[in-house]
């Protein structure tokens, strides 16, 4: 019965006004890699005691442990959020019974969603890869790139072009990706009329934002949202602030803070988008905390923060989940990171 109605609507109504009002909400999942509560706190104070996260209406806490380790890595936690299973550290999109699992991006595609992925790392890095790849090791970049080239991702922006073009199998995946318009700049991304568009921001891993050459995450988000908007369909978009984690591993507070600011600006851009597109669920969370950061000193004047790291690795502390928009309230509480998938699935299935 539902199918008949939809079919009629396609025939008799212009799709645009109809689609947004009657279909499922858009979902924008924003993952700050290594973004613990202390990183948020430090970023907030350093920005004059303000963060875009204060506008969210529901807050939850996510338990990040993996199947085999209290301290997760980005592959296991990415898989947990993308596909709802706890797996081994290092594994992407495969459960502990060695079965491939579908991601929320792939499931939403089957439900008529458009899809997008944006990362400030390479697009084959563990976090974005969790949404389209199935590999036993996150280091299998060439295999991940091949799976990306055959994926249902409509729009992507990230680094890592070399994994598509400089390969042991001598294939040039960019030539094989005939359904994609692979562009070389954000302005070309904006002008493209193709149904699938990709932009590589770097041959390898993108530089840090403080170098001044990287595309600000908010600009990448704006361009992808503009393309998604033209499709007049609901969409699933994952946006990763990838290098907050790298700043944590380096125990460099200025690196963490500049990457947090880049991510925070992107959150503000997404919130601005939802003002004109209220049928959009926004989820901001982290895969884990990195660095065991603690604010141990500071000055109330200018909200100056002094922080120390306790490890160069990840920690097992719970991470916050901020939500706003339709069904935001189902994300309040304390739950496993796999529940983020289950809750998003509920939204997609409604």
Q: What is the set of active-site residues?
A: 74
From the list 63-71, 79-87, 148-156, 239-247, the region that binds Zn ion by CB under 5 A is 239-247
115 binds Mg ion (CB under 5 A): no
Task: Work out how close the CB of 127 gets to Mg ion at its nearest, in angstroms, rounded to a whole number.
Answer: 3
Q: Is residue 28 within 8 Å of 327, Cβ to Cβ?
A: no
- State how far the Cα of 78 lies from the Cα of 37, in Å rounded to an integer: 18
127 binds Mg ion (CB under 5 A): yes
- State how far the Cα of 194 lies from the Cα of 332, in Å rounded to an integer: 38
From the list 42-50, 70-78, 101-109, 185-193, the region that binds Mg ion by CB under 5 A is 70-78
Which of Zn ion, Mg ion, none lies near 26, with the C-beta cut-off 5 to 8 A by kind? none
Nearest residue (beta carbon) to Mg ion: 127
289 binds Mg ion (CB under 5 A): no
Q: Is residue 47 within 8 Å of 264, Cβ to Cβ?
A: yes
Task: Work out how close the CB of 288 gets to Zn ion at its nearest, in angstroms, rounded to a whole number.
Answer: 7
Residue whose CB is less far from Mg ion, 245 or 265: 245
74 binds Mg ion (CB under 5 A): yes
Task: Work out how close the CB of 139 gets to Zn ion at its nearest, in angstroms, rounded to a whole number.
Answer: 14
Task: Work out how close the CB of 74 gets to Mg ion at its nearest, in angstroms, rounded to a whole number.
Answer: 4
- State how far the Cα of 295 lies from the Cα of 256, in Å rounded to an integer: 13
- State how far the Cα of 311 lies from the Cα of 317, in Å rounded to an integer: 13
Residue whose CB is less far from Zn ion, 245 or 259: 245
Question: Judged by CB under 5 A, which of 154, 240, 245, 289 binds Zn ion?
Answer: 245
Which of Mg ion, Zn ion, none lies near 205, with the C-beta cut-off 5 to 8 A by kind? none
First to last CA, the chain: 16
Which of Mg ion, Zn ion, none lies near 265, with the C-beta cut-off 5 to 8 A by kind? none
* Binding to Zn ion, residues 143-202 (CB under 5 A): none
Name which of 13, 8, 252, 236 is nearest 112 in CA terms: 236
Residue whose CB is less far from Zn ion, 25 or 90: 90
Task: Work out how close the CB of 33 gets to Zn ion at its nearest, in angstroms, rounded to a whole number.
Answer: 7
Which of Mg ion, Zn ion, none lies near 242, with the C-beta cut-off 5 to 8 A by kind? Mg ion
Residue whose CB is less far from Mg ion, 106 or 259: 259
The site for Mg ion (CB under 5 A) is made up of 33, 74, 127, 242
The site for Zn ion (CB under 5 A) is made up of 245
């Amino acid at each position: 019965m539902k199918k008949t109605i939809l079919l009629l609507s396609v025939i008799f109504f212009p799709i645009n006004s109809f689609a947004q009002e009657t279909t499922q909400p858009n979902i924008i999942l924003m993952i700050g890699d290594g973004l613990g509560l202390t990183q948020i706190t430090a970023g907030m104070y350093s920005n004059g005691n303000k963060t875009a996260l204060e506008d969210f209406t529901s807050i939850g806490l996510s338990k990040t442990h993996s199947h085999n380790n209290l301290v997760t890595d980005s592959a296991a936690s990415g898989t947990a959020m993308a596909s709802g299973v706890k797996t081994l550290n290092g594994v992407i999109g495969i459960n502990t019974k060695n079965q491939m699992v579908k991601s929320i991006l792939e499931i939403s595609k089957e439900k008529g969603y458009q899809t997008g992925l944006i990362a400030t790392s390479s697009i084959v890095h563990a976090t974005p890869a969790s949404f389209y790849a199935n590999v036993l090791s996150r280091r299998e970049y060439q295999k991940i790139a091949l799976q990306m080239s055959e994926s249902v991702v409509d729009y992507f922006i990230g680094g890592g072009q070399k994994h598509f073009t400089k390969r042991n199998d001598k294939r040039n995946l960019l030539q094989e990706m005939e359904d994609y318009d692979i562009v070389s700049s954000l302005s070309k991304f904006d002008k493209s009329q193709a149904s699938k568009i990709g932009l590589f921001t770097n041959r390898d891993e993108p530089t840090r934002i403080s170098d001044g050459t990287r595309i600000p995450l908010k600009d990448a988000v704006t361009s992808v949202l503009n393309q998604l908007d033209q499709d007049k369909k609901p969409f699933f978009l994952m946006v990763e602030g990838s290098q907050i984690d790298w700043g944590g591993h380096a125990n460099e507070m200025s690196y963490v803070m500049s990457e947090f600011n880049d991510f925070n600006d992107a959150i503000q851009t997404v919130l601005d988008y939802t003002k004109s597109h209220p049928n959009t669920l926004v989820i901001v969370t982290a895969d884990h905390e990195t660095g065991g950061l603690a604010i141990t000193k500071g000055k109330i004047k200018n909200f100056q923060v002094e922080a120390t790291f306790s490890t160069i690795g990840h920690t097992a502390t719970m991470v916050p989940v901020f939500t706003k928009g339709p069904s935001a309230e189902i994300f309040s509480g304390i739950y496993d990171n796999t529940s983020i998938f289950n809750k998003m699935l509920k939204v997609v299935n409604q």
